[in-house]
Amino acid sequence: MEKEWCRADASEETSRGGSQGRASMEMFFSSFRAYAKAAATETENRLARLETASKISFVSVALCNFSIILAFDDKRTALYNRLVASYHKAKIERAEMARELEDAKAVAARVPQLEEDLQVARAQRPEAEKAAKAVADKAQETDGELTRLRRLEANHVIELESVKRVEQEKVDNLSKRLEEVDQQRLKLRQEVTSKSNELSATAKRWVGEISSLDRGLAAAFPEVQAVALAAAGKAREARRQATGEQSFDCFSMDDYLASMAARVEPITMLGWELRKAAEELTKAALANGDVD
């Protein structure tokens, strides 16, 4: 191309002032060569400066690269950990899905049996509908019976309230009567206690007097002591057989009376015999006329 331009006589050029003109091709190429040489020199200088700067910044670049590598390693470790966690999670999810699949297979295995049950249920549906209708009729009857029972219950409640009022009045009257009876009972208890005290005092006095009489009779008739004791023992045994009460070591009033009766009986018999003899003598005297 340079040879072609050299063969050309002139070319159109634009001056620095902006005006158009023509110049010879030798002049054009000489200026072009000067410009290219200056540009090459400037390029070499720039390359030298870049090499110097690259040597200086190599260490910083290496450090940056090292930090970048470390950051990349950290990111790679974090990414690896995330991948491991995702793997374990996926493994667990796969196990769960396997269990769900087994459950689904078990359910699917039951589908034929369920279909058979469904067919049986469909075959039994008319009977079930009849039974449901019968149950509905029975429920309707039950509702009617329940309504009747509720009315009866309401009537019974009213009657019960009436009876409760009447019985409450009776209870109140009985309570008043019981209070009166309690008062009378307390009064009678006081009277019985007083009378019992009087009777106890009288019995004590009688026991003392009877004991004195028994001692006097024992002193007057010592020969009938064994008879009196035997009579008291018989009376005690008869009383035990009649009433079932136990015998005591001390003499009771009945024992004293039995012993006294045993001692007095001979005297009574003697008096009766003397009286009978006197009556016979009197009758004989009256018969003989000896009595004035």
Comparing 218 with 99, the larger pLDDT belongs to 99
Comparing 179 with 50, the larger pLDDT belongs to 179
In which band, very low, low, confident or very high, does the pLDDT at 1 lie, cut at 50, 70 and 90?
Answer: very low
What's the average model confidence in pLDDT over 50-64? 62
Is position 265 within any domain? yes
Is position 239 within any domain? yes
In which band, very low, low, confident or very high, does the pLDDT at 68 lie, cut at 50, 70 and 90?
Answer: low
Comparing 284 with 20, the larger pLDDT belongs to 284
Is position 268 within any domain? yes
> Which residues are 24's β-sheet partners?
10
Q: What percent of the chain has pLDDT over 90?
A: 0
Is position 280 within any domain? yes
Comparing 164 with 11, the larger pLDDT belongs to 164
What's the average model confidence in pLDDT over 8-25? 56
What is the C-alpha separation between 152 and 158, in angstroms, rounded?
10
Asked whether the beta carbons of 254 and 239 are under 8 A apart, the reply is yes
What is the C-alpha separation between 265 and 224, in angstroms, rounded?
10
Q: Which residue has the tokens 């309707």?
A: 140
Is position 203 within any domain? no
Q: For the beta carbon of residue 265, count every other beta carbon within 10 angstroms.
A: 14
pLDDT, tens digit, for every residue of 178-229?
Answer: 888 888 888 888 888 888 788 777 767 766 776 676 666 666 655 555 566 6
Q: How many structural domains is the chain composed of?
A: 1
Query: Does this model's pTM top 0.95?
Result: no
Is position 253 within any domain? yes
| Domain membership of residue 276 as a residue range | 221-286
Determine the pLDDT at residue 244.
61
String of DSSP letters for the chain: -HHHHHHS-EEEEE-TTS-EEEEEHHHHHHHHHHHHHHHHHHHHHHHHHHHHHHHHHHHHHHHHHHHHHHHHHHHHHHHHHHHHHHHHHHHHHHHHHHHHHHHHHHHHHHHHHHHHHHHHHHHHHHHHHHHHHHHHHHHHHHHHHHHHHHHHHHHHHHHHHHHHHHHHHHHHHHHHHHHHHHHHHHHHHHHHHHHHHHHHHHHHHHHHHHHHHHHHHHHH-GGGHHHHHHHHHHHHHHHHHHH-PPP-SS--HHHHHHHHHHHHHHHHHHHHHHHHHHHHHHHHHHHHT---
Q: If we measure between CA atoms, which residue out of 257, 245, 254, 253 comes closest to residue 203?
A: 253
Is position 176 within any domain? no
Determine the pLDDT at residue 148.
87
pLDDT, tens digit, for every residue of 148-173?
Answer: 888 888 888 888 888 888 888 888 88
Which token pair is 145?
A: 């019976």
Q: Return the top range by mean pLDDT from 17-26, 54-63, 252-261.
A: 252-261
Determine the pLDDT at residue 115.
82
The rounded mean pLDDT for the chain is 72
pLDDT, tens digit, for every residue of 238-272?
Answer: 766 666 666 555 556 566 666 666 666 666 665 56
Kindly report the backbone phi and psi dihedral angles of residue 12, in degrees, each rounded to the nearest multiple of 5, phi listed first. -80, 135
Evaluate if residue 38 carries a pLDDT over 60: yes
Determine the pLDDT at residue 5.
46
Evaluate if residue 10 carries a pLDDT over 60: no
What is the C-alpha separation between 77 and 190, in angstroms, rounded?
109
Is position 261 within any domain? yes
Asked whether the beta carbons of 291 and 278 are under 8 A apart, the reply is no
Determine the pLDDT at residue 292.
45
Determine the pLDDT at residue 63.
60
